[in-house]
Amino acid sequence: MWWVVSRGLVVTALLTGRNAAGDEPPERVVQYAKDALTVRVTRVPVDEILGQLGKQSGAEIRGEVRDRHEITAEFEDVPLPEALHRLLGEQNFALIYGDGGRLKTVRLLGGPLAPPPPSAAPPTASSVPSPPASLPALVGLFEAHAPVPVQGRLSQALGTDTATFSQLGDMALHHDDVLVRTEAVRVGLQVIEAEPEFRSAVISGVTGMGNGDLSTFVRGLAGPRADELVLRVITLARATELRAKASAVLQDMRAQPGAAPPPVAPPQPGG
């Protein structure tokens, strides 16, 4: 949510293939340019598509694909975060940019956490992880949290009355309804602030990251909705530490070359 990359880079990769009848394989294209991806493939392993992205962009692909499957897809000039969301499905990822807005790293993170089995013991204060010291640890902290109750418009959008933090994040970043996006952020913040140990670990992890690292992470996730997302945190968070960090990140994002003009503050549900 969140991108400027080396301009003028257009490379088309034809992935070799062969069908059972021995006919010429259909055209298979993976093309990266201006932080957008064009894909026309049939039954191509997702790892190969990511490999082509790495070669064309010069970015390092870190982590592993959780669901190694073949992709059949056709889309053109889709912003990279949205394109990766289509290719990776439920798996989380982070885009890290370097000097000049060049894509530096694609970091593959864990997928959404399934609800624990009925026999699993409920989490206790002693099982809460120590405050995370890195981005993967912070993401893991959210993935380890049990599903939380949701209701109203957000519940209808999800089709369920509970949601993992991964699902809340997906709603907050990608849903077309601004009220659903806002409510997803509100629910996530309420859960964080209602659980003292969890709140302490999250605040420690967030405040322990540099503003620049956090702003590039946010832009990699939210793309053009980065400012909107951070503004929601500033508006809805009660924890002073979260509001202060979000304000600093927003300033850092707006100071970056090519930053979009400040958006209007997002509307609030029921407002």
Helix 211-222 to helix 165-174 angle (10° resolution) is: 70
Q: Domains of the chain: which residue ranges?
A: 11-17+25-108, 129-255
pTM: 0.50
Give tens-digit pLDDT for 148-202.
999 999 999 989 899 998 889 889 888 899 999 999 999 999 999 999 888 888 8
**What pLDDT score was predicted for residue 258?**
56
At 7 the pLDDT is 32
| Positions of E strands within the chain | 11-14, 29-33, 36-45, 60-62, 70-79, 93-97, 103-108, 148-149, 162-163
More confident residue, 141 or 110: 141
Q: What is the pLDDT of residue 99?
A: 65
Nearest to 229 by CA among 200, 188, 270: 188
Flag the least confident range among 3-17, 43-57, 239-253. 3-17
Does residue 19 register a pLDDT over 80? no
pLDDT confidence of residue 90:
74
In the numeric block, which tokens belong to residue 80?
A: 């990279």
pLDDT band at 18 (very low <50, low <70, confident <90, very high): very low
Q: Is the pLDDT of residue 261 over 60?
A: no
Is 11-17+25-108 CATH 3.55.50.30?
yes
pLDDT for 32: 92
Number of C-beta neighbours around residue 66 at 10 A: 15
Which of 83-97, 135-149, 176-190 is most confident?
Answer: 176-190
Select, from the ranges 26-35, 88-97, 144-153, 249-258, the one with the highest average predicted confidence (pLDDT).
144-153
For position 166, what pLDDT does the model report?
Answer: 85
- Beta strand 60-62 pairing with 103-108: parallel
Q: Is the pLDDT of residue 128 over 50?
A: no
Residue holding tokens 């992205």?
A: 53
Does pLDDT of 130 surpass 50?
no
Question: Which among 28, 4, 5, 6 has a CA at the least distance from the CA of 16?
Answer: 28
Burial class (CB in 10 A: 0-12, 13-18, 19+), 63: middle
| Nearest alpha-carbon partner for 19 in 51, 37, 42 | 42
> Quick count: other Cβ atoms within 10 Å of Cβ 17?
14
Q: What is the pLDDT of residue 134?
A: 58
What pLDDT is stored for residue 239 in this prediction? Answer: 86
C-beta of residue 90 within 8 angstroms of C-beta of residue 111? yes
The amino acid at 159: G
Cβ partners under 8 Å of residue 196, min gap 6: none
Residue 204: pLDDT band with limits 50, 70, 90: confident
* Mean pLDDT score across all residues of the chain: 75
pLDDT band at 25 (very low <50, low <70, confident <90, very high): low
pLDDT at 213: 80
Residue 228 in contact with residue 253, Cβ under 8 Å?
no
Is residue 83 within 8 Å of 91, Cβ to Cβ? Answer: no
pLDDT of residue 186: 94
pLDDT attached to residue 185: 93
Q: Note whether 15 and 44 are within 8 A (CB).
A: yes
Q: Nearest 5°: CA angle at 103, between 27 and 45?
A: 35
Could you give the CA distance from residue 271 to residue 269 in angstroms, rounded to a whole number? Answer: 5
> How far apart, in Å, are the Cα atoms of 202 and each of 127, 129, 193, 208, 209?
15, 10, 10, 10, 11
